[in-house]
Structure 1
Amino acid sequence: MKRIVVDPINRIEGHLRVEVKVDEATGKVEDALSSGTAWRGIELVLKGRDPRDAWLFAQRICGVCTTVHALACLRSVEDALGIEIPKNANYIRNIIAAAQMVHDHVVHFYHLHALDWVSPVAALKANPAATAALQNTVLETYSLKAEGPKSFTTSAYPKDFPKATAAYFTEIQNKIKAIVESGQLGIFAGHYWEHPDYNVLPPEAHLMAVSHYLNMLDRQRDIVIPHIIFGGKNPHPHYIVGGMPCSISMNDMNAPVNTERLAVVDNSVNLTIDLVNNFYIPDALVIGDLFVKAGYVDGGGLAGQRVLSFGDFPEERYSGISNGDYFNNLLIRSNGVVENFGQGVDKAIFHPLAGKDLSDPNVLAEGVEHAWYNYPESGKDLHPWNGVTAPQYTGPKEGTKTNWKYLDEDGKYSWIKTPKWNGKTAEVGPLAKYIIVYTKIKQGVIQQPTWAEKFIVDQIEAVSKLLNLPAEKWLPTTVGRTAARALDAQLHAYISKYFFDKLLNNIKAGDTTVANTANWDPASWPKEAKGVGLHEAPRGGLSHWVTIKNGKIDNYQAIVPSTWNACPRDGKAGHGAYESSMIDTKVKIAEQPLEILRVVHSFDPCLACATHLFDNEGKEIAVVRTDPYF
């Protein structure tokens, strides 16, 4: 048995360490540990602040998924204070969220995850003419035709399309060769390029994918244009409790939102659809198809056992979340939990997740058995509204507090708490959302699907036909988790178009209201209030929980998707999603655990960064250093 340590995991947001015990004779992973190695402390930053400003601070939890924490925070405060946002604000927030979803997935696949499947070194062996021919074949074979509302009509011609000439690929290959020969590989350095898994794809597929890697470096910024028009900037666009801060005028050319700027958004939305349909979907599916045919159907872990989602994209206004009204008109009704999907959709068990469940500590809670925190009552989990953020760092099993050797799997070993649904761990993310919607429709829980829900089922069945496998065989795998993210990007490209059309029609009808400020004055608030904000973020179900007393935040807790997925094990709840998926993965070469990197990266990890605390005069009052190398 060999113990492998990968620390830090690169190409992610934040700090993550994993340790696995591998039987070298069989390649089987016998045990796995996932450790978030930095403390965020944003809950303490928000305590005592004005809840109207909370979104601005919460948004800084992450610099990759930028806007998602602002949206969840806004929804939590508005839920607590009973604020209903205008139609335009709802449409605009949905457009921003959909654009963020596509942007995040594109960046993840091409710039964070692609190098687990694709090698720039292998691309040097490719024939450029054969690569051009492959590009055309891939477009013909692996494009998914999307069908939906008539409003899906895009521009008269594609805004962007993959190049497919020998001259183009020769030039790309020469650029790669110059980088490799210089010895300055940069982001391509320090990897396992000689690993046999890179032989699954032909050299031409490597060259084609690397060219698209470079294409998306240029194009990914165009996807988030809606953030700039409606929110003023990216990353971290602006919001306001009660709606949006961008006034609308079809007559004033200096207005934040006018005809000219709406046309810019329209161009971005159409470009995004083309980028996903012509680049992302074909690339992800051809890679997935070749790996599945080579027998790579592992890495599912918890996905086939238990997945959770909150659902998202309210079609119209809603009165609150904790009262359940939020769930009544969602475009994607993935709210719920599905167990045992790996046994087949007919044997899967669906559990609803409604408004009443949000306040039930028996349904949703967090534990700290293996996390570096201290709870008032040892062994007792806490509902997020009663959550406590009290750090208790104990160090590793072997080594020192600043120089780790091995984590303490029997004690505390992570800065991530363990969220639970009915006392059990669950996987969240696009894969979870797709499994739940597919199960609900196939089992008749949803009898009249929205266009988006039907879209999801059509996508899954198209890929199942392509792979010649039932959904339960390919979805809960590393390949399936990666493919689901691509399918999710395609869905959200059209969701952005859908809500943009609704926004235009509402403006044409004469409605230009973007904010409800009726309850802006704290004097109108109750002395005590609490709320929850839900969002189906790029990495999965996100929830922010706020309690307000006398106009200030009394307690704040955020359970992010990577909290669900990267959490440490629990004696009763079992392993988290990362750990389960690593245990479900075989490793060929212990010293080159590419398979471990691939399965962990398939979740698009987003570990929150360490936080320094300052007083009102800007003086440093506390620093928590937990990274073993600093």
Structure 2
Amino acid sequence: MSKQKIIIDPITRIEGHLRIEVEIDENNVVTEAWASGQLFRGIETILKGRDPRDSGLIAQRICGVCTNVHYRASISAVEAAYGIEIPHNAEIIRNLVTLSLFVQDHIVHYYHLHSLDFVDITGALSADCNKAAKDAASWCEHPYRNSDGHLEAIKEKLEGFVKAGRLGLFANGYWGHATYRFTPEENLVHMNHYLEALRIQRELSKAVAIFAGKTPHPQNLVVGGVTSVADMLNPQRLNDFLFIIKETRDFIERAYIPDMVMLVNAYRDSIKAGEGRAVGNFMCCGGYRFGKDQQLFSSGVIKAHNFESIEPFDSSKITEEASRSWYENDAPLSPYEGDTTPFYTDLNDDGSLKTEGKYTWVKAPRYDGNVMEVGPLARMIVGYSKNSPIIRPYMERFMKRSGMELIDFSTTVGRNAARAVEAQICCDYLFDTMSDLIENIKYYDEDTWTKYVFEELPHEAKGAGIFEVPRGVLGHFVRIEEGKIANYQAVVPTTWNASPKGAKEGRGAYEESLIGIQLADPSAPLEVLRAVHSFDPCLACAVHVIDATGRELAQYKISPVCSL
């Protein structure tokens, strides 16, 4: 049986540097895959020896996109180590910011990072605008900004880009690829919403900044609570936040959800074929309290797509190993004991990965020894399977509207559908979360910080901040000795999903999702990009190591190639 290797390096429209290598057989079916984090960078080591209260401001620099969630997880890890309980208002404000980021991240991911794997821009140029308006109305009773005149203007704008040769980030797409499924009119509707989503995501940044001070790299969190007191007590600021969320909800209901139903309909064959399905192990830590005792997300672990059997989540079962990663210590270790001493073994002479040995800077996290997939798909499947009174009704409504079954979500297209449903849930429940804050203020509860005396806190402690964040389960783990940080590890969503093969266990979620995919054209591996993009990769988060002395360890050159 003859085999070909395809190398895509770098994967674009993601955060960070990712290389994918796949082997295909004579029928162009992927038989093996390797996902490799290619950038050596870091944070964790430089936190050693520092005051634990400083960890958040440094740890948020792990990524330029996921700044708030790393900031929050880091601060929360220190609070857990010291046993500090934050006021309810502080928790609410943290949740308002984080859930706004969920919505923004999901909208940006689909429209600006992933939709062009499904949308043929050049196909939109031949669209009949009147027909496009009618088509949009078939997916939604009141489509978002859908008049003939508006669609004509969008079409003219796209034509102008093409004629002027100013396609910019659209320049190197696989336009005209055989696996594009949308009609010209559906392509135009999607491109209309692509442009509208640019404005929506900008407004959501304003909403985040109301309580976070700025974004990215907010400044509102401190050990013990938040500093956003003036904004919390300003009715105009609260109203500004709610106005943006209301406008966003309108976009989700009239554009994002209908577009997702359109996507499911167009790519139903690939869904039913299970294209992009990974191992079927899903993990959620749950969280985001509101009301009296309600949680937005359910916790639990599902294995091998067995939706009837849900294990409780136990963070003590998390380990990381590096048998196939460029680090010295191969052993599966608790994050509290994690070691990130680099050991780079280079590439083969022909520039390919040494796939039988170490081949990535991403470690291999395991839950009770198992590969796990985390993210919106995991949260929606676990919530649905546990009969969550919040998640299940939204999922059932989308399933009825789209004709999907639960197993269908465990696919390339299904991950996008799950993410859209989650965006709708988060947006709706931002109003409930804000109601909790207003209710507290109404009854003169204005506390946002728990007072403590640092010198009286324990000098030996350890703690973890574990949260659901847009891409999945994020954990920051800190061990404190003599009042300083002795060890620090972040186990992030993309580390779970982009995990390499382990010493005993199989492929990570990225790698497994590629197995069995048939390429229409090996020289244009769009199907590979679709599957990988569906996870919303953030490799900057997944790889974080640095030499504390600042000396140069090595130099690495990455050449953009897609070779056979």
TM-score past 0.5 threshold: yes
Residues 504-523 of structure 1 aligned to structure 2 (within 5 Å): 504-518=438-452, 521-523=453-455
> 1:424 Cα deviation (Å)?
1.1
Which residue of 412, 415, 435 corresponds with 2:381?
Answer: 435
- Quick check: 1:621 aligned with 2:551? yes
> 1:332 Cα deviation (Å)?
3.3
- Quick check: 1:45 aligned with 2:83? no
- Quick check: 1:565 aligned with 2:540? no
Q: Which amino acid aligns with 1:397?
A: N
In structure 2, what is the equivalent of residue 546 of structure 1? 478
- Quick check: 1:235 aligned with 2:216? yes
CA distance in 2, matches of 1:429, 1:314: 19
CA distance in 1, matches of 2:336, 2:540: 20
In structure 2, what is the equivalent of residue 338 of structure 1? 302
Structure 2: 5+ residue stretches without partners: none
| Cα deviation 1:137-177 (Å, max 9, x = unaligned) | 2213xx9xxxxxxxxxxxxxxxxx72222221111111111
| Cα deviation 1:510-555 (Å, max 9, x = unaligned) | 111111122xx33111121000001101100111100111221111
Residues 42-121 of structure 1 aligned to structure 2 (within 5 Å): 42-121=43-122
Which residue of 189, 193, 199 corresponds with 1:212?
Answer: 193
In structure 2, what is the equivalent of residue 155 of structure 1? none
Q: Secondary structure at the match of 2:522?
A: coil
| Cα deviation 1:385-433 (Å, max 9, x = unaligned) | 000110101111334xxxxx21111100000000001111111111011
CA distance in 2, matches of 1:583, 1:117: 20
| Cα deviation 1:449-502 (Å, max 9, x = unaligned) | xxxx32321222223323434312x11111111100001100110121111111
> 1:87 Cα deviation (Å)?
1.0
Tell whether the 8 Å contact from 1:612 to 1:622 is kept in structure 2 after alignment: no
CA distance in 2, matches of 1:3, 1:263: 55
Which residue of 324, 335, 347 corresponds with 1:384?
Answer: 335
Tell whether the 8 Å contact from 2:207 to 2:241 is kept in structure 1 after alignment: yes
> TM-score with structure 2 length normalisation?
0.94
Which residue of 333, 338, 348 corresponds with 1:397?
Answer: 348
Residues 406-417 of structure 1 aligned to structure 2 (within 5 Å): 406-417=352-363
Tell whether the 8 Å contact from 2:261 to 2:402 is kept in structure 1 after alignment: no
Q: Which amino acid aligns with 1:312?
A: G
CA distance in 2, matches of 1:512, 1:541: 31
Q: Secondary structure at the match of 2:159?
A: helix
| Cα deviation 1:238-283 (Å, max 9, x = unaligned) | 21111101124xxxxxx67411211111212212221211221111
CA distance in 2, matches of 1:47, 1:242: 21
In structure 2, what is the equivalent of residue 358 of structure 1? 315
In structure 2, what is the equivalent of residue 184 of structure 1? 166
Which residue of 419, 426, 431 corresponds with 1:492?
Answer: 426
Q: Secondary structure at the match of 1:125?
A: coil
In structure 2, what is the equivalent of residue 466 of structure 1? 401
CA distance in 2, matches of 1:296, 1:192: 24
Q: Secondary structure at the match of 1:30?
A: strand
Q: Which amino acid aligns with 1:470?
A: E
C-alpha change, 1:75 and 1:588, in structure 2 (3 Å) is same
In structure 2, what is the equivalent of residue 311 of structure 1? 286
In structure 2, what is the equivalent of residue 149 of structure 1? none
CA distance in 1, matches of 2:16, 2:301: 28
> 1:187 Cα deviation (Å)?
0.7
C-alpha change, 1:246 and 1:463, in structure 2 (3 Å) is closer
Q: Which amino acid aligns with 2:518?
A: K
Superposed CA RMSD in Å reads 2.1
In structure 2, what is the equivalent of residue 265 of structure 1? 241
Tell whether the 8 Å contact from 1:297 to 1:479 is kept in structure 2 after alignment: no
Which residue of 522, 532, 549 corresponds with 1:600?
Answer: 532
In structure 2, what is the equivalent of residue 22 of structure 1? 24
> 1:226 Cα deviation (Å)?
3.3
Q: Secondary structure at the match of 1:530?
A: strand
Q: Secondary structure at the match of 1:206?
A: helix
Structure 1: 5+ residue stretches without partners: 144-160, 249-254, 318-328, 400-404, 442-452
In structure 2, what is the equivalent of residue 244 of structure 1? 226
Tell whether the 8 Å contact from 1:173 to 1:207 is kept in structure 2 after alignment: yes
Tell whether the 8 Å contact from 1:301 to 1:584 is kept in structure 2 after alignment: no
Tell whether the 8 Å contact from 2:40 to 2:545 is kept in structure 1 after alignment: no
In structure 2, what is the equivalent of residue 136 of structure 1? 137
Q: Which amino acid aligns with 2:74?
A: C
Tell whether the 8 Å contact from 1:95 to 1:226 is kept in structure 2 after alignment: no
| Cα deviation 1:352-404 (Å, max 9, x = unaligned) | 11xxx333xxx2111101000011xx5x31010000110101111334xxxxx
Q: Which amino acid aligns with 1:565?
A: N
Tell whether the 8 Å contact from 1:461 to 1:471 is kept in structure 2 after alignment: no
In structure 2, what is the equivalent of residue 291 of structure 1? 267
Tell whether the 8 Å contact from 2:271 to 2:413 is kept in structure 1 after alignment: no
- Quick check: 1:524 aligned with 2:456? yes
How many residues align structurally?
556
C-alpha change, 1:2 and 1:613, in structure 2 (3 Å) is closer
Q: Secondary structure at the match of 1:571?
A: coil
Tell whether the 8 Å contact from 2:123 to 2:176 is kept in structure 1 after alignment: no
| Cα deviation 1:315-356 (Å, max 9, x = unaligned) | 389xxxxxxxxxxx5613532210122x6x3xx421111xxx
> 1:225 Cα deviation (Å)?
2.9
C-alpha change, 1:423 and 1:626, in structure 2 (3 Å) is farther
Q: Secondary structure at the match of 2:125?
A: helix
> 1:185 Cα deviation (Å)?
1.3
CA distance in 2, matches of 1:524, 1:285: 56
> TM-score with structure 1 length normalisation?
0.85
CA distance in 2, matches of 1:104, 1:487: 13
Q: Secondary structure at the match of 2:339?
A: coil
Tell whether the 8 Å contact from 2:100 to 2:430 is kept in structure 1 after alignment: yes
C-alpha change, 1:492 and 1:368, in structure 2 (3 Å) is same
> 1:308 Cα deviation (Å)?
0.7
CA distance in 2, matches of 1:274, 1:388: 47
Tell whether the 8 Å contact from 2:364 to 2:502 is kept in structure 1 after alignment: yes
Q: Secondary structure at the match of 1:131?
A: helix
C-alpha change, 1:397 and 1:487, in structure 2 (3 Å) is same
CA distance in 2, matches of 1:576, 1:278: 35
Q: Which amino acid aligns with 2:394?
A: Q
CA distance in 2, matches of 1:421, 1:501: 36
> 1:75 Cα deviation (Å)?
1.2
In structure 2, what is the equivalent of residue 456 of structure 1? 391
C-alpha change, 1:3 and 1:613, in structure 2 (3 Å) is closer
CA distance in 2, matches of 1:316, 1:49: 37
